[in-house]
Amino acid sequence: MLTIAVEGRVGDLTEEERVLLLKRRPRDEAEVRQKVQALLEEVRRDGDDALLRMARDFDGVALTALEVPRARWEEARASLDPTLRSDLERAARNIETFHRAQIPGDVEVETEPGVRLGRRAVPLPAVGVYAPGGRAAYPSSVLMGAVPARAAGVPEIVVCSPPGPSGEPPTEVLAACAIAGATRLFALGGSGAVAALAYGTASVPQVEAIVGPGNQWVTEAKRQVAGELRIDSPAGPSEVLVVASPNADPARVAGELVAQAEHDPEAAVAAVCWEAPLLARIRTELESQVNDSPRKAIIQEALRECGALLLAEDRNEALAFAEAYAAEHLVLFTDDPREDLKTQTTAGTVFLGEPSSVAFGDYLTGANHVLPTSGRSRSFSGLSVLEFLRFYTWQELSEDGAAAMSEAVGRLADAEGLPGHAAAARARSRAGGVA
């Protein structure tokens, strides 16, 4: 019998169940925080030596070098199955198309006569892209991080991904680096990779931003270095919430839960509907699909730890729960998903209608799959091209514009006790003798 963490009515959830579902924090969060802090300091202190120790201790490999030569990426791309290579290239094109469309244009505006202001976007000089490893290879995460950075014009795109038994990331990851336009690749994983990118070592360059998903160790490390540089969002283990109308296909609903649960035993997956017979059919389908999956053990653990099958009173309660849940992926298998979308403001990304499986967004549509988790989509956005840009403003005043502002600025500066400011402003007035 499949064990699911929470089953029952939305209105009958206990406080403990609501915390489990809505907060979605690992039980060992405090312990992980302390251990990550120590790992970050170790890399800051010992540099490459610390990274080599971590590869041995955590990845089980004795590395002779941290960087993977570009020639190896090109070999991997050339040796990749041609159909798979074509699929990755197709994904890269779609990602670039969608993210290029997000690049904002320059702004120039006159706020008063003779006072012109502008805002320009410029790419960051160097960024780090983290691509997870361990239980699976994730070339898609390389594309999701590196392709938008390239579209933004970032000149240095450094990828870190954990080494496999060979001492390198998987072939698919190497090939994706070549396809995505990365500039350097390091066989580094976990907190150590984040620390290396944040602080720099003899081998690994320091960057201005770190993006990409990862487990709780990666997420916590990004959180701790956020004061040193920019991070995208706390993108941890995968999540999905499916809202299903009474006529939804239970097999498709169950399939969405299985697809995200198979990522990680820490994944959070849930479905909510407002018809008890449908919920029962979803459970039956879920049990069948889990039993047939090669990743059965991972899915079972995810469902046992943070899975949910919930019954709402009606559509409104189901959608209200979805808004409170703030899922990484929200799936609307409802009669009018476009209308229901209007009620949702907190999800990382929303999939509308039964043809729109999360799997398409994970790989090929062009939208980014690096999204905030653990309810943090209430305040964070998913990865976009904006993460690779910084903005500065410029200001230009004509003599007439400066003169028109001089006395008002002088009075404001006097009120704040800043006579130098007042003098600088009044020197631009006509009475100040400026021609």
In tens, the pLDDT along 80-118 reads 999 999 999 999 999 999 999 999 999 999 999 999 999
Residue 305 resides in a domain:
yes
Contact 120, 105 (CB under 8 A): no
15 and 83 in a single domain? The answer is: no
Query: What CA–CA distance (Å, rounded) separates 367 from 100?
Result: 11
312 and 333 in a single domain? The answer is: yes
For the residues 372-377, what does the mean pLDDT come to?
Answer: 92
pLDDT for the residue 296:
96
pLDDT-derived band at 344 (thresholds 50, 70, 90) equals: very high
For the residues 333-343, what does the mean pLDDT come to?
Answer: 98
Beta bridge partners of 115: 112, 397
Residue 79 resides in a domain:
yes
Residue 271 resides in a domain:
yes
Residues 6+ apart with CB under 8 A from 63: 52, 55, 56, 163, 167, 187
243 and 259 in a single domain? The answer is: yes
Q: How far is CA 57 from the centre of its chain?
A: 27
228 is catalytic: no
271 and 412 in a single domain? The answer is: no
pLDDT tens profile 204-250: 999 999 999 988 899 999 999 998 899 998 877 899 999 999 999 99
Residue 114 resides in a domain:
no
Question: Does pLDDT of 121 surpass 90?
Answer: yes
The 10 Å Cβ neighbour count of residue 2 is 16
**Percent with pLDDT over 90 in the chain:** 92
Provide the residue range defining the domain that includes 274: 6-28+236-378
289 and 141 in a single domain? The answer is: no
Residue 42 resides in a domain:
no
Query: What CA–CA distance (Å, rounded) separates 47 from 379?
Result: 34
pLDDT-derived band at 135 (thresholds 50, 70, 90) equals: low
Domain total in the chain:
3
243 and 370 in a single domain? The answer is: yes
Out of 202, 232, 262, a domain closes at 232
Phi-psi region of 433 (alpha: psi -120 to 50; beta: other; left: phi over 0): left
For the residues 71-82, what does the mean pLDDT come to?
Answer: 97
Catalytic residue selected from 168, 262, 266, 328: 328
195 and 240 in a single domain? The answer is: no
Beta bridge partners of 112: 115
pLDDT for the residue 432:
55
Residues 6+ apart with CB under 8 A from 50: 42, 43, 192
Cα atoms in the Cβ-side hemisphere of radius 13 Å centred on 278:
21
pLDDT for the residue 168:
95
For the residues 371-386, what does the mean pLDDT come to?
Answer: 94
Pure H helices in 270-398: 276-292, 296-306, 315-325, 337-341, 358-363
The 10 Å Cβ neighbour count of residue 58 is 17
- Distance of CA 11 to CAs 3, 18, 92, 274, 326, Å? 21, 10, 44, 12, 18
324 and 341 in a single domain? The answer is: yes
Query: Nearest Cα to 387, choosing from 12, 73, 128?
Result: 128
262 and 325 in a single domain? The answer is: yes
pLDDT for the residue 434:
40
Contact 67, 185 (CB under 8 A): yes
112 secondary structure, DSSP code: E
Residue 317 resides in a domain:
yes
248 secondary structure, DSSP code: S
373 and 412 in a single domain? The answer is: no
Which of residues 23 and 98 earns the better pLDDT score? 98
Catalytic residue selected from 266, 329, 354, 387: 329
pLDDT for the residue 292:
96
8-17, 55-64, 232-241, 270-279: least confident range: 232-241
Residue 391 resides in a domain:
no
pLDDT tens profile 296-323: 999 999 999 999 999 999 999 999 999 9
329 is catalytic: yes
314 and 279 in a single domain? The answer is: yes
The whole-chain average pLDDT of the chain stands at 95
